[in-house]
Amino acid sequence: MTQGWLEGRTALVTGGATGMGRAISESLSGAGARVAIGSLAKGANLNSAAYAHLPDDDEIGKAVAAIKAQGGDARAFPLDLRDEQSVDAFHQATVEALGPVDILINAAGVSAQALITDDDSDGVWQTVLDINLNGPYRTIRRCFPGMIERGWGRIVNIASTAANVGHERNAAYCASKHGLLGLMRCVALEGAPHGVTCNAINPGSVGTGMMKRGSEIRASLGQGGDWEENFGLTAQAMPQGRLITVEEIAATALFLCRDEARGITMEDIDIAGGALW
């Protein structure tokens, strides 16, 4: 693939400082795109049992520095997907610093492990749905009109294998990811006449900080010893006997941004090594 084929393009990546989002940010920059990274910082209150790997200032700085060290142009801005004003400010700051958004990657998300009957079930539901589903809706609402006007755009939502199955203790997470696929399909149809594609990637178990946190919670519930043992058991249970890497997710997201991928829209693509969950 030709280097620099995204020269002149601007990408907005939510959750771009860690895990899959960071790998995608670096891949887009490597192809020539200017990249805006949006992150909810460590210490933010999620107001429920929902969890995510939230980066501190040092981790956010390192994500930007890694791109700049490769000769890329990257900026980091605060982002709380639950807050309309925060999403507005992030989008405006991106446009002012890097130009109109051509590529939107919705990689930010939270997870939760709670029974529907738990005392905190309502709080978990509201937090997970607001970040995982309402958040991408809010970023798409800001970026989509400009893409349509300019006749080119790429939107990639990081969903999950949970978007197509159910699992106990994951009602909010599964519902949010099911909803994200529905949103993706509608955006794809609205964008199709205007050169804008919208797709979803459904990762299976990926070796990220959020997965580590999930293993810690499962271990606390008596599932698989300590978190390291639980982490290892998850990998062993995969049909390929391994976790998916962030680089695999990034490579697929990058391909979906190519001109040659313009015929791929309204698709949800599993990258799970054969796993259903």
Catalytic positions, written as ranges: 173
Q: In terms of Cα–Cα distance, which of 237, 238, 219, 239 is closest to 228?
A: 219
CA 116 – CA 204 distance, rounded (Å): 23
Which residues contact residue 84 at a Cβ distance below 8 angstroms, ignoring those fewer than 6 apart? 138
Q: Read off the tokens for 151.
A: 């006749």
Q: In terms of Cα–Cα distance, which of 166, 177, 225 is closest to 200?
A: 177
Q: Read off the tokens for 168.
A: 């106990």
Q: In terms of Cα–Cα distance, which of 136, 192, 197 is closest to 163?
A: 136
User: Contact at 8 Å (CB) between 155 and 191?
Assistant: yes
Cβ burial, residue 149 (10 Å; 0-12/13-18/19+): exposed
Integer-rounded Cα radius of gyration of the chain: 18
Find residue 103's DSSP bridge partners: 11, 154
CA 20 – CA 271 distance, rounded (Å): 12
User: Contact at 8 Å (CB) between 128 and 173?
Assistant: yes
